[in-house]
Amino acid sequence: MIRHSQPNGPKIKVLNYSGTSNQSAGVVWCGAIICTILTIAVIIGGIVTFIGYLVIHPRVPYVSVMDAHLDHIQIDYAGILEIQVTILIRAQNGNEKAHASFSDSSYSLSLNREVVAQLVAPPFEVGKNSSVDFNYVVPSSPIPLGPDQAEDVDAGLKKDLIIFDLKGSSRVRWRIGSLGSVRYLCRLDCQLRFHPLNGTYIPSRCSSKAK
């Protein structure tokens, strides 16, 4: 009724209507374009990262036990243990374009669940495609063992086989080109086996490198 009494009414209304329609279509288009641009950006980013990865070929730095020697082991009648072990740990960085920073290196050496030594290193850098060796000479101060532990060590000496547990980690940080820096924890958790009679290390895999 009111529309009929105002001839201009419907016309204004139509204009007004089509106006909002254009606006919302515009918003939809804008959204679609932004979405498309974002999608393309993400895809291009992914391709660049992938190609960068292929070109730079980053390798995860790692630590491993290269060699060891049981220099001295002795347990007296009272169950007091004295040992000296040499352990060669190598930190390796296979990246040809990036150096790696190692920090918080700490490894505990235990014998029959008794920690006999803590192997620590100050923060250090490993150059491009290079390695750094740590030759730990671990003299343990006399360690009183419980009767069970002493018996185990005694049995190991008689069998000519002494097994240490080496557990710990180093933090490593290195840059992958312009893609940013990566942080990683190099963990070691392995058994070091020795012939106590001649101190020989029985080589086995002990590395933080994934198999």
| Sites of contact with ligand NAG (CB under 6 A) | 96, 129, 160, 195, 197-198, 200
Indicate the residue type of 56. I
Residue 69 makes CB contacts below 8 A (sequence gap 6+) with: 85, 86, 194, 199, 200, 201
Task: Point out which residues pair with 207 in neighbouring strands.
Answer: 64
Which burial class, exposed, middle or buried, applies to 131 when counting CB atoms under 10 A from its CB (0-12, 13-18, 19+)? middle
Q: Which is nearer to ligand NAG, 79 or 177 (CB)?
A: 177
Q: Which is nearer to ligand NAG, 128 or 173 (CB)?
A: 128
CB of 209 to ligand NAG, least distance (A): 15
* Cα–Cα distance for residue pair 199/123, rounded to 1 Å: 30
CB of 99 to ligand NAG, least distance (A): 13
CB 93 within 8 A of CB 64: no
Q: Which is nearer to ligand NAG, 8 or 198 (CB)?
A: 198
Residue 169 makes CB contacts below 8 A (sequence gap 6+) with: 104, 105, 106, 107, 185, 186, 187, 188, 208
* Cα–Cα distance for residue pair 33/40, rounded to 1 Å: 10
Q: Which is nearer to ligand NAG, 101 or 200 (CB)?
A: 200
CB of 111 to ligand NAG, least distance (A): 19
* Cα–Cα distance for residue pair 211/208, rounded to 1 Å: 9
Q: Which is nearer to ligand NAG, 90 or 195 (CB)?
A: 195
CB of 198 to ligand NAG, least distance (A): 4
DSSP three-state, residue 103: strand
CB of 203 to ligand NAG, least distance (A): 12
CB of 153 to ligand NAG, least distance (A): 18
Q: Pick left, alpha or beta for residue 148 (phi over 0 → left; psi -120 to 50 → alpha; otherwise beta).
A: alpha
Q: Which is nearer to ligand NAG, 32 or 197 (CB)?
A: 197
